[in-house]
């Protein structure tokens, strides 16, 4: 069961549009013709293992089919609302953590005889980032309440995925700037945070896709 994978396969090449005719299969690690390929080096998320999956004349039994033939795309997209909310939860958590770390640093670090926190530019920048984090938290709370109640909040979730993840990226950049040269050093957690948050505007639906979802619904 090692290297177990769920694979999306085009089982009907004639049906249109192209996203139809996709099925999901559970492929066990000891299946002939299936193996794990090279390890992929990522910009961030270094603690998450990511590798290529290689299929060479790999055959699986029909009992490995998940959710019925041709239902793959439906299954893949059925939980997108919850997936995107989870990403937003992670992004908001990132914001609060980075701001707490930065607040501690700027109060201790001194320049020109005073703490960095005492400079007006620093205070204004922190005020901006705290406001972005609070707005994101409030939006998230509203989404979770609606989602748990069974409401269709797909459009609002797209808005949150777009806004909050972009804000997360902006706060990571702003906090690293306040750390100065130290922020560029691997020994400081802000350096890792800066790398790790970058993927959030890409996975679960890129920012551009979120904007398309929003525009499609709001301009209909």
Domain of 48, CATH number, reads 2.40.110.10
Q: What is the CATH number of the domain that holds 172?
A: 1.20.140.10
Classify residue 179 as exposed, middle or buried by CB count within 10 Å of its CB (0-12, 13-18, 19+).
buried
Please give the tally of structural domains in the chain: 2
What proportion of the chain, given as a percentage, has pLDDT over 70?
99
Length of the chain: 220
Q: Are residues 21 and 95 in the same domain?
A: no
What's the domain range around 49? 5-75
What proportion of the chain, given as a percentage, has pLDDT over 90?
76
Active-site residue 208, yes or no? no
Q: Are residues 39 and 113 in the same domain?
A: no
Which residues, 6 or more positions from 140, have their beta carbon under 8 angstroms from its beta carbon?
85, 88, 89, 92, 160, 164
Q: Are residues 161 and 64 in the same domain?
A: no
Give residue-wise pLDDT tens across range 1-28.
Answer: 467 888 999 999 888 888 889 999 999 9
Query: Is residue 82 a contact partner of residue 159, using CB atoms and an 8 Å limit?
Result: no
For range 204-216, the mean pLDDT? 96
Tell me what pLDDT residue 57 has: 92
Query: Which one from 83, 108, 151, 156 is the annotated catalytic residue?
Result: 83
Q: Are residues 93 and 27 in the same domain?
A: no
Give residue-wise pLDDT tens across range 22-31.
Answer: 999 999 988 9
Q: Are residues 84 and 53 in the same domain?
A: no
Of 75, 92, 122, the domain-final residue: 75
Tell me what pLDDT residue 18 has: 82
Q: Are residues 71 and 84 in the same domain?
A: no
Give residue-wise pLDDT tens across range 151-170.
Answer: 999 999 999 999 999 999 99
Mean pLDDT of the residues in the chain? 93
Q: Are residues 184 and 108 in the same domain?
A: yes
Q: What is the sign, positive or negative, of the torsion defined by CA atoms of 127, 133, 136, 138?
A: negative
Token pair 């997936």 in the structure block, residue: 83
Give residue-wise pLDDT tens across range 108-128.
Answer: 999 999 999 999 999 999 999
How far is Cα 75 from Cα 134, in angstroms, rounded to an integer? 34
Kind of pairing between the strands at 5-10 and 22-27: antiparallel
Q: Are residues 65 and 103 in the same domain?
A: no
Q: Which long-range contacts (CB under 8 A, 24 or more apart) does 58-63 make?
A: 58/27, 58/31, 58/32, 58/33, 58/34, 59/32, 59/33, 60/25, 60/26, 60/27, 60/31
Following CA atoms 87, 88, 93, 98 in sequence, which dihedral angle do they give, to the nearest 10 degrees? 100
For range 130-147, the mean pLDDT? 97
Q: Is the pLDDT of residue 93 over 90?
A: yes
Q: Are residues 11 and 51 in the same domain?
A: yes
């Amino acid at each position: 069961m090692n290297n177990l994978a769920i694979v999306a396969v085009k089982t009907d090449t004639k049906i249109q549009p192209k996203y139809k005719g996709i099925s999901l299969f559970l492929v066990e690690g000891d299946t002939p013709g299936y193996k794990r390929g090279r390890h992929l080096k990522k910009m961030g998320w270094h603690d998450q293992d990511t590798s290529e999956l290689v299929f060479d004349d790999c055959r699986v039994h029909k009992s490995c089919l998940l959710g019925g033939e041709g239902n793959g795309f439906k299954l893949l997209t059925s939980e997108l609302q919850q997936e995107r909310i989870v990403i937003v939860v992670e992004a908001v958590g990132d914001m609060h953590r980075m701001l707490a770390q930065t607040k501690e640093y700027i109060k201790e670090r001194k320049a020109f005889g005073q703490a960095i926190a005492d400079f007006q530019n620093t205070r204004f920048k922190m005020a901006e980032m705290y406001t972005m984090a609070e707005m994101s938290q409030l939006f998230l709370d509203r989404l979770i309440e609606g989602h748990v109640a069974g409401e269709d909040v797909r459009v609002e979730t797209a808005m949150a995925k777009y806004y909050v993840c972009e804000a997360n990226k902006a706060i990571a950049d702003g906090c690293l700037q306040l750390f100065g040269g130290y922020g560029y050093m691997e020994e400081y957690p802000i350096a890792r945070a800066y790398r790790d948050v970058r993927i959030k505007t890409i996975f679960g639906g890129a920012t551009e896709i979120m904007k398309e979802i929003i525009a499609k619904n709001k301009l209909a």
